């Protein structure tokens, strides 16, 4: 081949537009051809279909093409590389035999099983073999993913949620062709894409695709509605490459079939480590658009090094910036596709953003849609937030009839960036240290009447001089709603946070056996807005009525310059009363006692700095699985009060203690009631986890201890009883409760709470 090469790009989508742009960056590319291309791809455009192998070979011979770069999977599966090589034309991509890694999921699974690559349990079934497929699924006794074994344009995967849906999915898939059933594994997906020269694989930054049509990853599968890179999965691309790509290269090299081209491993990051979902034999779309934007070395130079077996000698340069792709699709996609709609705004320029054409075609003086995924807008920036800003700023400049795009591309990245609650700006440890430091000062004001002070759920003061009671004790609690108020301020939904503050304080005095007497509130904001104050106080008054206590009043402070415009904060103090002999916890809490958990109805008022951060890029009305309500609804559910459920128990001698699961979660609230030398073992799979917490667990990278001390994870109140009383106590509740743990002996150097899987 001469220094000035004639290069052909095969394909017509956004991926191929990005490949063409990258090819032009090479000094070795003298002439660029595309087929069939689209209205935006650079170079000379020809009208040969991507899967027309004979036509592509003839085109290459007629135009004296030196190098072919194949974009989509169909021509690879049809053997275009084999045919080109047979006539002396260099082609970057795997042979037809190797392309079976994508074109036959059963072939891929058999290979990975043979070489020991970790993945889900699976089985393959021939077309029409419905009975055998159903029998295998029933024997597996676990949820499955139903996949068409052959090529399906990224849409041949069904993830059924019920047994009935599983039966239908298997039946329908078996009609279409060979089927692969895989055990459903849980976690978050990422795309590892490497360039390969037969023996060496070099990974590109890890990307994450957004397959579903709907925000929050809902709805039908598509070819991809957006992507971003790099993704912080806690494992380096080189380590993942060594686990999932290199063994496959080594296997086929040993068989005499060196893999040259792009190899794409779809990986699920699970709690037990990364597992392979599938292989693709080409760049993903839209992953290619972000990765080739970041890859500063031209794809032509990469391909030539791979074809020469000299990838190790190539200096592959990748930008340290971030990139995000947002796909604009036509009306009706993915079920149908509108065509012929004029696209406006393509000539607008936005710094840090570029547009790759997909399904576009020229029509007279216009560029119009050609069905499916029309355009991919890629933003680039110093970090993902800046890349996202650039991408969506450019998206907003484009319009065509029925245009649809997702507003939440990259939303999971925020959860992946959070390694601890303190990284969101809330430091539980520092809060605990502050309590420790101030205990001495508080203790200096105490007298013999103080029964519980700082560090307890609320202060307790002996007021036996109140002769109306036999031996009354006042219990006080002061708290705030926290950063949940930002969600209320942003959405204009104020009433719920008024209920939050009252119910939180009620629970804090309840765990000491007290019933609430009165509540005082404090509300501060940048400026007084009568409607907002009225809504908050209405929520407080409703909660006070529900809890049979009096809202005495409080303070409303206007503080411009201290709070930003529209921001506000809520705090309050609640006082309750209990007879001294009925104070909780009782002195007979001991090893062997059982912990009974009552459900929370949401995060209550804790963990919102984490929740707001990880869901910041998710639209308020999005409903990612497994949520049954929009994300904003799930986050703004008012804190539950447990007063009425606990009232029958407060005077029951079998009750030993109550634990309100508030800030610090299970690890730091359970110890508040434990005697010296006593710890607690909590079985984490013993209760039904609500959908919101399932979602947080799935998308975040917090370890188990950090997660369960940041959020209540579905348990809002714990009852401590002797093991002999468990059944009787559970029967007193009109709701499902769970035995979640027991009290155990604890040595001084052991953790007070052990969270057991």
Q: What is the CATH number of the domain that holds 469?
A: 3.30.1330.10
- Model's pTM, two decimal places? 0.85
Please report whether residue 549 resides in a domain.
Answer: yes
756 & 675 share domain = yes
Q: How far is CA 96 from the centre of its chain?
A: 36
Do the Cβ atoms of 151 and 162 come closer than 8 Å?
no
CATH code for the domain of 704: 3.90.650.10
Q: What is the rounded distance in angstroms from the CA atom of residue 532 to the CA atom of residue 549?
A: 23
577 & 591 share domain = no
| Whole-number pLDDT of residue 550 | 85
**E strands in 119-257:** 122-125, 144-148, 157-158, 179-183, 188-198, 201-203, 208-209, 212-214, 218-221, 226-229
74 & 188 share domain = no
Residue scoring higher pLDDT (652 or 437): 652
Q: What is the rounded distance in angstroms from the CA atom of residue 143 to the CA atom of residue 164?
A: 12
**Single residue among 581, 598, 628 that ends a domain in this structure:** 581
Q: What is the rounded distance in angstroms from the CA atom of residue 420 to the CA atom of residue 188?
A: 18
Concatenate the DSSP letters of all residues of 490-527 into one string: HHT--HHHHHHHHHHHHHHHHTTTPEEEEEEEEEEESS
pLDDT in tens, 675-732: 999 999 999 999 999 999 999 998 988 899 999 999 999 999 999 999 999 999 999 9
* Secondary structure class of 319 (helix, strand, coil): coil
Helix (H) or strand (E) holding 599: strand 594-599
Q: Which two tokens stand for residue 296?
A: 């500063």
Residue 712 dihedral angles phi and psi, to the nearest 5°: -75, -15
Please report whether residue 427 resides in a domain.
Answer: no
Q: Which two tokens stand for residue 156?
A: 């041949």
Do the Cβ atoms of 568 and 489 come closer than 8 Å?
yes
Query: What letter would DSSP give residue 640?
Result: P
546 & 633 share domain = no
92 & 163 share domain = no
CATH code for the domain of 79: 3.40.50.20
72 & 108 share domain = no
pLDDT in tens, 416-460: 888 777 667 656 675 566 445 544 544 443 455 556 554 566 556
Q: What is the rounded distance in angstroms from the CA atom of residue 185 to the CA atom of residue 468?
A: 62
Q: Which two tokens stand for residue 456?
A: 């307890």
> Which residues lie below 8 Å from residue 675, measured CB to CB, with a gap of 6+?
589, 590
pLDDT in tens, 301-358: 999 999 999 999 999 999 999 999 999 999 999 998 899 999 999 999 999 999 999 9
- pLDDT of 466 > 70? The answer is no
- pLDDT of 562 > 90? The answer is no
111 & 65 share domain = no
- pLDDT of 484 > 70? The answer is yes
CA distances from 40 to 26, 36, 43, 352, 362 (A): 19, 11, 10, 19, 9
Please report whether residue 430 resides in a domain.
Answer: no
- pLDDT of 461 > 70? The answer is no
Q: Which residue has the tokens 């639209």?
A: 619
68 & 111 share domain = no
Q: Which domain does 474 fall in, by range? A: 448-581
| Whole-number pLDDT of residue 402 | 94
> Nearest CA to 53 among 72, 88, 78, 31?
78
pLDDT in tens, 378-402: 999 999 999 999 999 999 999 999 9
Do the Cβ atoms of 20 and 9 come closer than 8 Å?
yes
**Single residue among 32, 64, 96 that ends a domain in this structure:** 96
- pLDDT of 228 > 80? The answer is yes
Percent residues over pLDDT 70 in the chain: 93
CATH code for the domain of 267: 3.30.470.20
Q: Residue 670: beta bridge partners?
A: none
pLDDT (mean) for 238-248: 97
| Whole-number pLDDT of residue 370 | 96
568 & 654 share domain = no
Q: What is the rounded distance in angstroms from the CA atom of residue 196 to the CA atom of residue 212?
A: 29
Please report whether residue 44 resides in a domain.
Answer: yes
Domain count, the chain: 4
Please report whether residue 479 resides in a domain.
Answer: yes
Q: Which two tokens stand for residue 163?
A: 């047994």
* Secondary structure class of 310 (helix, strand, coil): coil
The model's confidence at residue 554, banded by pLDDT at 50, 70 and 90, is confident
Q: Residue 148: beta bridge partners?
A: 179
Residue 47 dihedral angles phi and psi, to the nearest 5°: -110, 50
Pairing of strands 753-756, 678-683: parallel
567 & 705 share domain = no
Q: What is the rounded distance in angstroms from the CA atom of residue 267 to the CA atom of residue 119?
A: 9
CA distances from 341 to 337, 368, 370, 594 (A): 11, 5, 8, 66
212 & 73 share domain = no
| Whole-number pLDDT of residue 442 | 40
Mean pLDDT of the chain: 92
Q: What is the rounded distance in angstroms from the CA atom of residue 136 to the CA atom of residue 134?
A: 5
180 & 255 share domain = yes
Q: What is the rounded distance in angstroms from the CA atom of residue 523 to the CA atom of residue 275?
A: 50
Q: Which long-range contacts (CB under 8 A, 24 or more apart) does 206-212 make?
A: 206/230, 206/231, 206/233, 206/237, 206/240, 207/231, 207/284, 207/287, 207/290, 207/291, 208/410, 208/412, 208/413, 209/284, 209/286, 209/287, 210/406, 210/408, 210/409, 211/154
Q: Which long-range contacts (CB under 8 A, 24 or more apart) does 700-704 make?
A: 700/415, 700/416, 700/418, 700/610, 700/614, 701/232, 701/234, 701/415, 701/416, 701/418, 701/419, 702/418, 702/419, 702/420, 702/421, 702/610, 704/755, 704/757
């Amino acid at each position: 081949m001469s220094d000035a090469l004639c290069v052909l790009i095969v394909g017509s989508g956004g991926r191929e537009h990005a490949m063409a742009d990258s090819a032009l960056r090479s000094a070795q590319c003298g002439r660029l051809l595309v087929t069939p291309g689209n209205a935006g791809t650079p170079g000379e455009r020809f009208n040969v279909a991507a899967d027309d192998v004979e036509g592509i070979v003839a085109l290459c011979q007629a135009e004296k093409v030196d190098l072919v770069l194949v974009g989509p999977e169909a021509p690879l599966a049809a053997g275009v590389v084999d045919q080109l090589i047979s006539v002396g034309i260099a082609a970057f991509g795997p042979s037809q035999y190797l392309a079976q890694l994508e074109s036959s999921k059963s072939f891929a699974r058999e290979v990975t099983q043979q070489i020991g690559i970790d993945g889900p349990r699976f089985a393959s079934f021939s077309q029409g073999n419905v009975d055998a497929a159903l029998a295998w699924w029933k024997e597996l006794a676990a949820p499955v993913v139903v996949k068409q074994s052959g090529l399906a344009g990224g849409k041949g995967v069904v993830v059924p949620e019920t047994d009935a849906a599983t039966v239908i999915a298997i039946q329908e898939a078996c009609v279409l062709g060979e089927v692969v059933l895989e055990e459903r594994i849980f976690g978050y997906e990422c795309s590892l894409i490497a360039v390969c020269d037969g023996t060496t694989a070099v990974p590109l930054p890890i990307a994450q695709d957004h397959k579903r049509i709907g925000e929050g990853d809902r709805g039908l599968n598509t070819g991809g509605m957006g992507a971003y890179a790099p993704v912080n999965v806690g494992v380096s691309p080189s380590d993942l490459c060594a686990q999932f790509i290199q063994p496959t290269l080594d296997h086929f090299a040993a068989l005499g079939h060196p893999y040259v081209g792009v190899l794409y491993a779809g990986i699920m990051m699970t709690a037990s480590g990364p597992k392979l979902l599938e292989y693709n034999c080409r760049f993903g779309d839209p992953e290619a658009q972000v990765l080739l934007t970041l890859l500063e070395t031209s794809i032509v130079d990469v391909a030539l090094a791979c074809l020469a077996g000299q990838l190790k000698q190539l200096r592959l340069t990748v930008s340290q910036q971030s990139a995000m792709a947002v796909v604009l699709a036509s009306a009706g996609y993915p079920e149908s596709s509108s065509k012929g709609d004029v696209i406006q705004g393509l000539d607008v320029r936005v710094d840090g953003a570029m547009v790759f054409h997909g399904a576009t075609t020229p029509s007279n003086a216009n560029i119009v849609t050609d069905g499916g995924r029309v355009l991919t807008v890629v933003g680039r920036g110093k970090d993902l937030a800046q890349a996202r800003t650039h991408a969506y700023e450019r998206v907003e400049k484009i319009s065509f009839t029925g245009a649809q795009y997702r507003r939440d591309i990259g939303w999971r990245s925020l959860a992946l960036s959070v390694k601890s609650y303190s990284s969101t700006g809330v430091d539980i440890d520092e809060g605990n240290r502050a309590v420790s430091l101030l205990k001495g000062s508080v203790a200096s004001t105490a007298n013999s009447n103080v029964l519980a002070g700082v560090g307890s759920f609320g202060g307790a003061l002996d007021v036996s001089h109140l002769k109306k009671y036999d031996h009354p004790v006042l219990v006080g609690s002061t708290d705030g709603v926290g950063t949940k108020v930002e969600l209320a301020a942003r959405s204009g939904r104020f009433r719920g946070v008024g209920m939050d503050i009252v119910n939180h304080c009620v629970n804090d005095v309840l765990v000491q056996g007290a019933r609430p007497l009165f509540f005082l509130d404090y509300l501060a904001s940048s400026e007084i807005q009568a409607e907002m104050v009225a809504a908050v106080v209405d929520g407080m008054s409703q909660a006070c009525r529900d809890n049979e206590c009096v809202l005495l009043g409080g303070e409303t402070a206007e503080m411009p310059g201290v709070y930003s415009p529209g921001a506000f904060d809520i705090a309050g103090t609640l006082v309750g009363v209990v007879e001294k002999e009925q104070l909780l916890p009782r002195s007979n809490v001991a090893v062997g006692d059982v912990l009974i958990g009552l459900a929370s109805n949401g995060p209550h008022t804790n963990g919102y700095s984490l929740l707001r951060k990880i869901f910041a890029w998710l639209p308020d009305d999005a409903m990612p699985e497994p949520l049954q309500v929009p994300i904003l609804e799930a986050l703004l559910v008012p804190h539950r009060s447990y007063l009425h459920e606990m009232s029958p128990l407060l005077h029951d001698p079998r009750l030993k203690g109550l634990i309100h699961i508030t800030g610090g979660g299970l690890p730091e609230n359970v110890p508040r009631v434990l005697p010296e030398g006593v710890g607690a073992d909590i079985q984490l799979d013993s209760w039904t986890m609500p959908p919101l917490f399932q979602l947080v667990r799935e998308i975040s990278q917090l370890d188990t201890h950090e997660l369960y001390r940041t959020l209540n994870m579905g348990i809002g109140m714990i009852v401590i009883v002797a093991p002999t009383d468990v059944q009787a106590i559970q029967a007193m509740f009109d709701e499902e409760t769970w035995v979640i743990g027991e009290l155990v002996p604890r040595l001084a150097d052991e953790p007070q709470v052990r969270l057991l899987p």
